[in-house]
Chains A and B, each alone.
Chain A
Amino acid sequence: MQQEEQQKIFQNILEQHKGILFKVARTYCRDEEDRQDLIQEIMIQIWQSLHKYNDKFQITTWLYRISLNVAISHYRKRKVRKDKFITLKENFTQISAADSSEKEQLLLQLERFISELKEMDKALVLLYLENKNYNEISEILGITVSNVSTKVGRIKEKLKRRFTQNK
């Protein structure tokens, strides 16, 4: 693959699937600087693994594997970065504020409960909430479908309990 062609594919992948990178970073890092650091690390790994991409897997499966693997092994290196790689539009906060506050509160609670989970469980719950089916989750995590189902069931129960306790 030519360097230029590879760059184009890389940019297209990032443009189309930037949400995956952002959501993985948001799930694993609460701090904005850490998040940007993690996003950059994920982008580097995607770029370096691009030549190995095997199209027998969906591109999203491949991206989730890289993003989650990097996120789980990212031990707060804290190289403070000034560059922002993926950000939200400036007026996003205004759009959010206009939203129903109860929904916002519930979402904040959900994010907090997810942040309390262990690394592997965070990956599982993110994929579940992203509406991935059990087969895809099994391919991304490398566990059996029945194992996915059992684990998802347990985590859902855990989240439900946390919401009930918080009422």
Chain B
Amino acid sequence: MEEVTLKELWKSYNQKVEENLVLNQKNASDISKMKVNSLLSSMKPMKVFALIVGAIWVIAIGSMIINLFVYAYHKVSLFFLYSAAIQVLLTLLAIGVYIYQLTLIHNVDIDEPILSTQEKLARLKTSTLWVTRLLFLQLPVWTTFYLPRSVFVNGNTMFLLFQGIITLTFSLVAIWLFLNIKYENRNKKWFRLIFNSKEWLPILKSMELLEQIDDYKENKKIISREHRRE
């Protein structure tokens, strides 16, 4: 089909559609009276809430850990001390992701060009994966924080072996998931299995969109390279 025919076909039909379109004035006027959130502002309260809860947690547990490190290092279980410290550090990183998301929400402008707006929106959605990766990375510390200081002195060999296998398995799984939960693996079976439920759909869609955006950007690079060569 030729270019002109394609455009003419579209034009002839659209002309008729435009002539026959009816705007419901009452509904349109109702829109201006609606008290609704903008596209992204509805996401803000949840992020701010997570940020505040996370900050309170980090301040409370963090200051307790610092105190224990300084004043009671030889009295408390080192398993608890280091496990809690790792957990607080990872929570701190998750807070960083929430701050990044709130900055993106603040910077998204719906009347800006499509490519830049969609990139910000897609990055905002896919950054949720970072929080998930950090959550998985906390797995091993939940298998160690309760161990007493004396476990290696008085613990029996079977218990130590069992504990060691559990902690090692959790550590390997956590590191593997942390490294592999990424855009490139979105089509793998295990990935689809973890992110199967409906609430992950926007994130998976955003990943696809980022691929398209990259493709448009890649095109940009190829063209500028060709221009430079000329």
Contact with A along B9-26 (1 / 0, CB 8 A): 111111011101111110
Option from B14, B25, B202, B227 in Cβ contact (under 8 Å) with A146 = B227
Q: Is A134 an interface residue (CB 8 A)?
A: no
Q: Is B106 an interface residue (CB 8 A)?
A: no
**A14 contacts B216, C-beta separation under 8 Å:** no
**B212 contacts A151, C-beta separation under 8 Å:** no
Residues 35-51 of A at the B interface (beta carbon under 8 Å)? 40-41, 43-45, 47-49
Q: Which of B14, B32, B111 has the most CB of A within 10 A?
A: B111
**Whose C-beta in chain A lies nearest to the C-beta of B16?**
A95
A40 to B27, CA, bound (A): 9
Q: Which residues of A contact B219 (CB under 8 A)?
A: 143, 147, 150-151
Q: Is A6 an interface residue (CB 8 A)?
A: yes
Q: Is B44 an interface residue (CB 8 A)?
A: no
- Give chain A's interface secondary structure class: helix
Q: Is B220 an interface residue (CB 8 A)?
A: yes
A139 to B114, CA, bound (A): 9
Contact with B along A81-97 (1 / 0, CB 8 A): 00111111101100110
Stretch at the interface among B34-42, B62-70, B130-138, B140-148: B34-42
Q: Which residues of A contact B212 (CB under 8 A)?
A: 118-121
The interface on chain A, measured as residues whose beta carbon lies within 8 A of the other chain's beta carbons, has a size of 66
**A23 contacts B117, C-beta separation under 8 Å:** no
Residues 111-149 of A at the B interface (beta carbon under 8 Å)? 118-121, 123, 129-131, 139-144, 146-147
A95 to B17, CA, bound (A): 10
**A96 contacts B16, C-beta separation under 8 Å:** yes
Q: Is A160 an interface residue (CB 8 A)?
A: yes
Q: Which residues of B contact A86 (CB under 8 A)?
A: 21-24
Contact with B along A1-31 (1 / 0, CB 8 A): 0000011001100110011001100000000
Q: Which of A65, A70, A156 has the most CB of B within 10 A?
A: A65
A19 to B38, CA, bound (A): 23
**Subset of 29 A-B contacts with CB under 8 Å:** A10-B31, A18-B21, A19-B17, A19-B18, A23-B17, A45-B39, A47-B32, A48-B38, A49-B110, A65-B112, A66-B111, A68-B114, A75-B201, A83-B30, A85-B27, A86-B21, A88-B17, A88-B21, A92-B16, A103-B9, A107-B9, A110-B6, A119-B212, A130-B10, A140-B114, A141-B113, A143-B115, A146-B227, A147-B216
- A residues bordering B, Cβ < 8 Å? 6-7, 10-11, 14-15, 18-19, 22-23, 40-41, 43-45, 47-49, 52-53, 62, 65-66, 68-70, 72-73, 75, 83-89, 91-92, 95-96, 103, 106-107, 110, 118-121, 123, 129-131, 139-144, 146-147, 150-151, 156, 159-160, 163
